[in-house]
Chains A and B, each alone.
Chain A
C-alpha cells in the first residue's frame, strides 16, 4: 500500500495520506484530478469495488468533503478518496460511467446536499423526497426541528434533551447537578 500511496503522491499530488487501521487508508486529492485517479485505481490497481460515495459538510470551513470508498478484493485494501469542493453551487465530475450504481449516489447527493454532477443520468429526479421545497436537508444549516414546527405545527416533546443536562435536573437535583 505504501508503494501505491507514494506513487499517488507524486502523480496526483495526493495529500493527507493516513492509515486509519490495517486495510483502510484515506487520502485527499484535488477536485480536478479525482476522476482520473479513481479511474486509474479501478482499471490498473484492482480497486474494482465502489463501497459507497458520500459527503461530509464542514460548514465552518465552507466546504463539502466528498468521500469515495474503493476496495481491492485481491489485496484486501480499502482506500478512501477525499475531495474538497465549495459548499455553494459547486459541481463535481461525475463517475457514473465507472460504476453502475454511481449515478444513484450522485442523485442522492444532489438531493441531500445540492451538489451537481453534470452529465449524471436522472440527476434531478426525486430520490427519497417528493416535492421537496426547502434547502437540501443534509446541509448542516437545515434545522429539522424548525422544519417540523413550521410544516406540521407545534407538538410537545419534539425537542431534544441533552441527557446530561436532563439528568442533572431529574435525577440529582439535590447534589448541585453533580451526576458523577
Chain B
C-alpha cells in the first residue's frame, strides 16, 4: 500500500445527534472504570440497541494526577519522580524523552555507551509492554491461558530491569546526560537466555492464539481502520502500520542508536483487530532481535554519564523543543518550554492514546457487538494516564 500524500477531505467529523433514551428502545451501559475489559481506569458510556452499540463516549480522568501542572512547580531534577508515572507499563519512554528534551535545550552530548544502554533499555521496555498487551488482547477474547504465560514471562524481563536499574517498574534509569549505571556482570548472558525463552513463548502464542478459530472469528473484521482515517484521526504506531503505513520514528527520524541497528518496519494489510494484533506480535519478535543486537554492540567500558553541573543548580537556557520516540503505541512526544529559570515553563506530553482512545474509539465502537467492545479497545492499545496527564 502506498503512503498517504494528502489529507482526506471526505471524512465527516460531525458528532452524531444524541440518541433519544426516553423512547425506551435503547439501553445505556457504562463499561468501566473498574472492568477487566478496560485498558486502565477509564470508562466507556455506551448506548445499545439490542446488543449493538449505537453510541460511545470515552470518559477519562480517573487517574488524573496533574503531572503537567506538578512539573511547573518542581525543578528539573525533581520532575524525574513525576514523568515515569505517566505511562505505567512504559515508564522508560517518559524518562528518555524528558531527558532528551533537557539535553537538547542545554546542548548536552550523551556518551556513546549511554546511547546504546538507552536503546537497549527502551527495547526491553517495549518487549515487557507487548508481553502485557498480548495477554490483554487474549483475555479480552476469553482466552485466559495466554495472559498467564505472558504476564509471568514479563516478570523475567522485569528481573532484567531490576538487575540493571534497581527497580522493576519505575526505573528512573535514564537521566539527563546519560544513564545511572552500566550492564552488571553476567547480564548479557542472562538477557540472552531470557530472549531465547521469549522467542519460544511467541512461537507457542502464535500457535495457540493466532491460529485459534474463536480468536480469528471474533477479531477478524472487528474495528477496521481504513487508510483514509489515518491522518485525519492522527493514528500512529501499529494501528497505522497494520493498514499498510510504513511509518516508524525509529526508521523515519532515527534517534539514539536506531540508525545503526538492522531492522525493517513491520507493516500489515489487515486493518482490523486481528491484523493489529499480528502486527504487534511481529514487532515483539523484532524487539527481541533488536535487544540481541544491542547486547552484542553496547560498549562495556567508557563513561555512561556526561559531565554535568550540580543538579541543584541546573538552569536550562530559554527555548523550546519537541522530542519524540516510537513507543509501543506510536509517536510519544515531549514538548518542553524553558524560560531560563530553575523551573520548566511548560511540558506537554503527547501520547498516542489521546486520539486512539477517544476520537478513534468512539467511531469504531458504533455498530460493534457489546461482547467485542473490550477486544476492540485493547486492540487499539491505549493507556489513560497519557490522556489525562
Contact = CB atoms under 8 A, between A and B. Distances in A.
B312 A48 contact: no
A81 interface: no
A36 to B, nearest CB: 15
B66 interface: yes
Nearest to B337: A56
Given A69-B322, A121-B15, A138-B68, A100 B234 contact: yes
A179 B231 CA distance: 52
B146 to A, nearest CB: 32
Contact of B319 (A20, A67, A121, A167): A20
Nearest to B348: A54
Interface in A128-180: 128-130, 137-138, 140, 142, 144, 160, 162-164, 167, 179-180
A46 B232 contact: no
B312 A67 contact: no
Given A51-B333, A52-B333, A128-B61, A74 B73 contact: no
B190 to A, nearest CB: 36
A26 interface: yes
Contacts of B7: 42-43, 48
Contacts of A129: 61, 64
B74 A160 contact: yes
- Sort chain B's interface into a size bin: 35 or more
Nearest to B105: A20
Contact of B75 (A67, A74, A122, A163): A163
Interface stretch (B169-177, B266-274, B291-299, B351-359): B351-359
Given A51-B322, A122-B15, A160 B77 contact: no
Contact of B320 (A26, A51, A121, A122): A26
A160 B81 CA distance: 13
A137 B350 contact: no
A137 B69 contact: yes
A9 interface: no
Interface in B95-131: 104
Contacts of B252: 73, 76
B22 interface: no
Interface in A90-113: 96-97, 99-101, 103-105
B6 A51 contact: no
A163 B73 CA distance: 12
Given A52-B350, A100-B233, A69 B335 contact: yes
B77 A163 contact: yes
Nearest to B321: A20
Nearest to B253: A76
Nearest to A126: B61
B313 interface: yes
Contacts of B77: 163
Interface in B321-344: 321-322, 324, 331, 333, 335, 337
A99 B234 contact: yes
B4 A73 contact: yes
Contact of B234 (A101, A137, A164, A179): A101
Nearest to A179: B312
B333 to A, nearest CB: 6
Given A128-B61, A163-B312, A164-B312, A101 B70 contact: no
A73 B247 contact: yes
Interface residues of A, number: 50
Contacts of A96: 13
B75 A21 contact: no
Given A43-B7, A52-B335, A128-B388, A100 B321 contact: no
A142 B253 CA distance: 38
A106 B321 CA distance: 22
Contacts of B72: 140
Interface string B230-271: 011110000000000001000011000000000000000000
A52 B360 CA distance: 15
Nearest to B68: A138
Nearest to A120: B15
A17 interface: no
B11 interface: yes
Contacts of A121: 14-15
Interface string A23-60: 11010000000000000001100101111101011000
Given A21-B104, A56-B346, A144-B70, A50 B313 contact: no
Nearest to B60: A128
B5 interface: yes
Given A46-B5, A121-B14, A163-B78, 14 more contacts: A24-B322, A49-B231, A51-B322, A52-B348, A52-B350, A57-B346, A69-B335, A73-B252, A121-B15, A126-B61, A128-B64, A138-B69, A160-B74, A163-B311
22 contacts: A21-B104, A24-B322, A26-B320, A43-B7, A52-B348, A54-B348, A56-B346, A69-B350, A76-B253, A80-B320, A100-B13, A100-B355, A101-B359, A104-B355, A127-B61, A127-B388, A128-B61, A142-B69, A160-B73, A163-B75, A163-B78, A164-B313
Q: Which are the 4 A-B pairs with shortest beta-carbon distances?
A: A128-B61, A101-B355, A54-B348, A48-B231
